């Protein structure tokens, strides 16, 4: 059975991705391989950050791995917070990040936003990228208590509820991460079948 490292210790992300894998692939976290370093993310794009993380694992542990970088892009804020989504307020406190974003959008009628995930996979010495994107809008207040990050204020297109109001299975069917991971899983399954 194939083992692959997902360069994260975010339990929510691990659960989301594990739920999408069909059991043919064993997913390991950074904890599982003994990596306790906060891998730097200094890129200007989601691709650069994801690639930086996967290359770090490959360099230091010589393991096949993938890493993702995700963020929220708000049209009226010049696509902020973007790559700075996790530390938009200057801290990793999501309550503060959400509060700042809602304040910055206050009085603005353009609430269009998109969640984007880019995955960098290093497999057999080659790098592959997979992107997932979901369009939506930002609510005027927090709604729901499921999920994580900006989920309470992101309403996906075609829905009247936020990601945080959806049960995990529903969110996993449509989220930006789900779209990127589905592409990754198809690729891994095809690679394994060869």
Question: What domains, with CATH codes, occur in the chain?
Answer: 2-193 (3.90.950.10)
For residue 104, the model assigns a pLDDT of 97
Query: CA-based diameter of the chain, in Å?
Result: 55
**Gap between the Cα atoms of 97 and 75, Å rounded:** 17
pTM (2 decimals)? 0.90
Lowest-confidence pick of 1-5, 103-107, 129-133, 138-142 = 1-5
* Residue showing tokens 């691990």: 14
pLDDT in tens, 66-82: 999 999 999 999 999 99
Give yes or no: 69 in active site. yes
- pLDDT above 70 covers a percentage of the chain that reads 97
Residues 6+ apart with CB under 8 A from 146: 163, 164, 165, 166, 167, 168, 171
Active-site choice (22, 31, 68, 69): 69
pLDDT in tens, 33-58: 999 998 888 999 999 999 999 999 99
Confidence of residue 1 (pLDDT cuts 50, 70, 90): low
* Residue showing tokens 């976290």: 29
Do 98 and 162 touch, CB atoms closer than 8 A?
Answer: no
Confidence of residue 123 (pLDDT cuts 50, 70, 90): very high
């Amino acid at each position: 059975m194939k083992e692959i490292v997902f360069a994260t210790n975010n339990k929510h992300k691990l659960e989301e991705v594990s739920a999408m894998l069909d059991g043919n692939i064993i997913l390991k976290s950074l904890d599982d391989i003994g990596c306790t370093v906060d891998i730097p993310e200094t890129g200007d794009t989601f691709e650069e950050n994801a690639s930086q993380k996967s290359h770090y694992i490959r360099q230091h542990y010589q393991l096949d791995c993938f890493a993702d970088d995700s963020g929220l892009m708000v049209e009226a804020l010049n696509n902020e917070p973007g790559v700075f989504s996790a530390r938009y307020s200057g801290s990793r406190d999501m309550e503060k990040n959400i509060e700042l974003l809602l304040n910055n959008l206050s009085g603005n009628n353009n609430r269009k936003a998109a969640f984007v995930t880019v995955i960098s996979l290093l497999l057999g010495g080659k790098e592959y990228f997979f992107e997932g994107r979901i369009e939506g809008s930002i609510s005027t207040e927090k709604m729901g208590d499921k999920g994580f990050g900006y989920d309470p204020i992101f309403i996906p297109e075609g829905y009247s509820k936020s990601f945080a109001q959806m049960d995990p299975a529903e969110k996993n069917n449509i989220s930006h991460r789900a779209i990127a991971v589905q592409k990754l899983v198809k690729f891994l399954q095809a690679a394994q079948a060869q």
